[in-house]
Amino acid sequence: MRFANRVVIVTGAGSGIGRATAVEFAREGAKVIAADVDVESGKQTVMSIKNEGGESSFVHVDMSFFESVQQLVTKTKERYGKLDVMFNNAGVSVKQRCNVLELPHEEYHRIVNINQHGIFFGIQAAGNAMKESGGVIINTASIYAFMADRGAFPYHASKAAVVGMTRSAALDLARYNIRVAGIAPGLVDTGIVAEWKDNPDIWRKIERAHMRGKAGQPGEVAKVVTFLASDDASFMNGHVFCVDDGAAAFKR
């Protein structure tokens, strides 16, 4: 019960890595605020936690607006009096792959507003809430912050920004005893990659890009997040850790 009496916000908690991590935090004793733009899926996560005897509540959030993120943090502090861990996990992928020269500006802004600006808003709102007592902020990047694939320019740009923001925020917030770290998942079997899974040939090709030739599961990533947020990782700060079965570590 590494998170007994601790208060944790998980954004993007309605599905995938977010849901698995919210459940894992609750299993380890945390009071979990499950935040998502999708009300129904977020409430389903809360129900899953409560069915296991954990404590959780849902708060609607749109990570592309600072006011919404600030309200999420404010509601958490009003309810519990503190915030110990912020997992900035909410993110989106490209709707349709295209060359950067043909990329619609509205698609670029849609992705960057959530994947990049949303992380900044989460860091700032949570950091201010943690200034007096310290805490941990974990951000979700991607292995595509470190490598490129065709047709996904705004996704790569936004996830690379998360790496830089994590390092910079860790340096700025260390004086307040706030640690900031991140994860860079490889292929994880979640809804965000559903279009790939619908095509068996593409799915197998992507799986083979990982050392053991298979996709990760959300629960495997959740274990890494809870470790990084725990006191067991107290000397780990300012880095983004690949959770990718080695996909970013070898030449294809």
Asked whether residue 247 is domain-assigned, the answer is: no
Amino acid identity, residue 36? Answer: D
Give the tokens for residue 59. 């708060």
Asked whether residue 104 is domain-assigned, the answer is: yes
Sheet holding 55-60, edge to edge: 55-60, 31-36, 7-11, 85-88, 135-140, 178-185, 240-243
Asked whether residue 252 is domain-assigned, the answer is: no
Domain that holds residue 124: 7-241
Asked whether residue 248 is domain-assigned, the answer is: no
pLDDT along the chain (252 residues), means of 10: 97 97 98 98 98 98 98 98 98 92 97 98 98 98 93 96 98 98 93 72 79 90 98 98 91 64
The pLDDT of residue 23: 98
The pTM of the full predicted model, rounded to 2 decimals, is 0.95
The pLDDT of residue 209: 80
Asked whether residue 159 is domain-assigned, the answer is: yes
The pLDDT of residue 250: 78
Q: Is 35 helix (H, G, I), strand (E, B) or coil?
A: strand
Q: Please give the tally of structural domains in the chain.
A: 1
Asked whether residue 250 is domain-assigned, the answer is: no
Asked whether residue 167 is domain-assigned, the answer is: yes
The pLDDT of residue 133: 96
155 is catalytic: yes
Exactly one of 108, 144, 155, 176 is catalytic; which is it? 155
Asked whether residue 91 is domain-assigned, the answer is: yes
For position 128, which CATH number holds?
Answer: 3.40.50.720
